[in-house]
A = this chain, B = another copy of it.
Amino acid sequence: MQATMPDRTPDTLYQRIADQLAASIRAGTLGRGDRLASVRELARQQGVSMATVVQAYRTLEDARLIEARPRSGYFVAGRTGVRRAAEPETTPLPPQAQPVAVRSLAAQVMSLVHDPAFVSFGAVWPGADLFQEERVRRAVTRAAQRHRASLCRYPTGSGAAEFRRAVARHALALGCRLDPEHIVSTTGCQAAISLCLRAVTQPGDVVALESPTSFGFLELLESMHLRALEIPTHPRHGLSVDALSLALDTQPVKAILAVPTLANPMGSCMPVPERRRLAQLVARHRVPLIEDVLYNPLCAHDDQRRAVRSFDDAGWVMLCGSYSKTMAPGVRVGYVEAGRWTEEVKHLKAVHSGSFTELMELALADLLMQPGLESGFRQLRNTVAARLEEARALAAESFPRGTRITDPPGGYILWVELPAGSDAMALYQACLRERICIAPGSLFSTTGRYGHCIRLGLGGRWTDAQRQALRRVGELAHGVVPAGGAAA
C-alpha cells in the first residue's frame, strides 16, 4: 500500500529515531560493526511501535549507515576502509545561453554500448541482472492473454487506462496526486521530454538546465535548435535555485529542464525546501518546468524521492518519467503529465507518433500494481549502492591524487573530476585503445567547462572485467594530468 509522502518527513516519529541514531553513528558513539538494539528492545526503550523502529532502521539502511545481517540483527555499517576520494564542488556561475553541438561524440560513445568487445562505462543503461526478468515476462504473457483484443484494435491516443491509473497510483510515492485522464503514455522518459519541449518552445528559444547535464538532453536541444542556459549545480544539493532565479530575471528563459533527484551526471538531489522554492519560482515567472523523475525511486533519501510537481498546484510543472531504469529496461514505456500543456502534448503525440501498443502498458500496469513494488525498489537501491561504493573505492585507489568523485545517494553513475588541467578527451582516447569506453566530460555541457571530467556509468554488467577496467581507467588517467598535477 502506497501513501502520499508527508510534507516534511523529519517531524515523523521514525525519522526522529533515525536522526538520533545517525547522529550517534556520525559522532562515533556507535562505531563500525557495533550491534544495534533489537527492534523489540528499541521499541520498548522509545515507547514506540515495532513498525516505527523497523521504518527507522530501514531509513538508516537506505542511507547505508547500518546493515541488516540475516538472523543476527542490525549493525553499524563500515565504509570500505580504503583511501576516500573527495567530492567535487559546486559548478560555476551561469554563462550566456549557448547553441549545442555534442552530437557526433555522443553517437560514438553510445555506439560502443552494445559492442561486446568493449567494457562500457559510457551509458547509464542498467543491466538485466538487476531486474526480475521472469516476473516481467509473466506480466507480458498475462497481458497478452487477458487483453488479446487490444492487439488488433487501434489504441486510444493517451495510452491504456490501466497504465494511466497505475502511474497515478505510483505517483503518490512521489508525493503527487495526478488525474489519470491527464497522463499520456510515451515510449520512455526522453520521448516525454521531447514532447514537452516541443509543446513549450520554438527554435532559438533558451532552455535552462543543470550544469553538467545529460548529453541526451543536449542532443535534444541541438536537434530542436534550442539554446542551453546552464545553471550552477551542487554535486549533492543539485540545481541552484538562487542562480536560476537570477537567470529568470535577466534572460529570456522559455523552459526549465531539471532532474531534481539523482541528476545525471552528478547524482545530486535537491533538498525538499529547495524543491518547494523551485515550484514557487516557476509559478511566479510563469515558466514551465519539465521535471524528470526517472531516477526518483532509486534515491536512498525517502524525502528526496518527492517530486517538485507535488508543490505545484497550478500546472507549471510537466512531470516526465519511465520505468526503464527501475523496473524493466526493455519495456520502453514512459509517461508525461504536462500540467497546463496537457492538451498540446496529447495533440503532439497523436500527430507525430499516433498511439502505442497497449500491451506493454498493460504489462507495466500489472507490475506497478503488484505488492512488493516498494521492497523491489529498496532491494535495487541496496544492490546498486553496494556496487557504487565498491567502484568508488576502486577509483579512489587508482586515480591520480587530487581526483574528486561524487558520492551520490543512488543511481548508476559516478562523476569524476580529474585534477585541473587534465585532458579527459585524451583519457577517453587512451581508454578506447584498450577497449574501454567512458564518457568524456565535454559531452555534458556546452560551456567547455568539464574538459577535465569523466562520467562512469556503472549500471551494466559488474564482474571482475569491469573492476579491472575501472582500475585501468584510473591508471591511464595518470597520463593525462598536467605536469605537477598528479603530485598536488
> Quick check: A133 and B156 within 8 Å, CB to CB?
no
Q: A357 and B354 in contact (CB under 8 A), knowing A140-B144, A154-B330, A330-B152?
A: no
Number of chain A residues close to chain B: CB under 8 A:
62
> Quick check: A360 and B360 within 8 Å, CB to CB?
yes
A194 to B195, CA, bound (A): 13
* Number of copies of this kind of chain in the complex: 2
Does A485 sit at the interface, judged by CB under 8 A? Answer: no
Q: A152 and B140 in contact (CB under 8 A), knowing A330-B358, A347-B107?
A: no
Q: List 10 A-B contacts (CB under 8 A).
A: A107-B347, A130-B152, A133-B148, A150-B330, A152-B328, A153-B329, A194-B351, A194-B353, A330-B357, A332-B357
State how many angstroms separate the Cβ of A26 from the closest Cβ of chain B: 38
CB contacts under 8 Å to B, within A148-201, are: 148-157, 186-188, 190-191, 194, 198
| Set of chain B residues within 8 Å of A125, measured between Cβ atoms | 154
State how many angstroms separate the Cβ of A224 from the closest Cβ of chain B: 9
| Set of chain B residues within 8 Å of A219, measured between Cβ atoms | 350-351
Does A304 sit at the interface, judged by CB under 8 A? Answer: no
State how many angstroms separate the Cβ of A231 from the closest Cβ of chain B: 22
Does A127 sit at the interface, judged by CB under 8 A? Answer: yes
| Set of chain B residues within 8 Å of A131, measured between Cβ atoms | 152
A191 to B97, CA, bound (A): 31
Does A295 sit at the interface, judged by CB under 8 A? Answer: no
State how many angstroms separate the Cβ of A131 from the closest Cβ of chain B: 4
Does A137 sit at the interface, judged by CB under 8 A? Answer: yes
| Set of chain B residues within 8 Å of A220, measured between Cβ atoms | 351-352
Q: Mark A99-112, 1 if CB is under 8 A from B, else 0.
A: 00001000100100
A324 to B203, CA, bound (A): 33
Q: A359 and B194 in contact (CB under 8 A), knowing A152-B328, A331-B151, A347-B103?
A: no
Interface centre among A110, A141, A348 (most CB of B within 10 A): A141
> Quick check: B155 and A332 within 8 Å, CB to CB?
yes
5 more A-B residue pairs beyond the given contacts A137-B145, A150-B330, A194-B351, with a C-beta to C-beta distance below 8 A: A107-B347, A137-B148, A140-B359, A144-B144, A332-B355
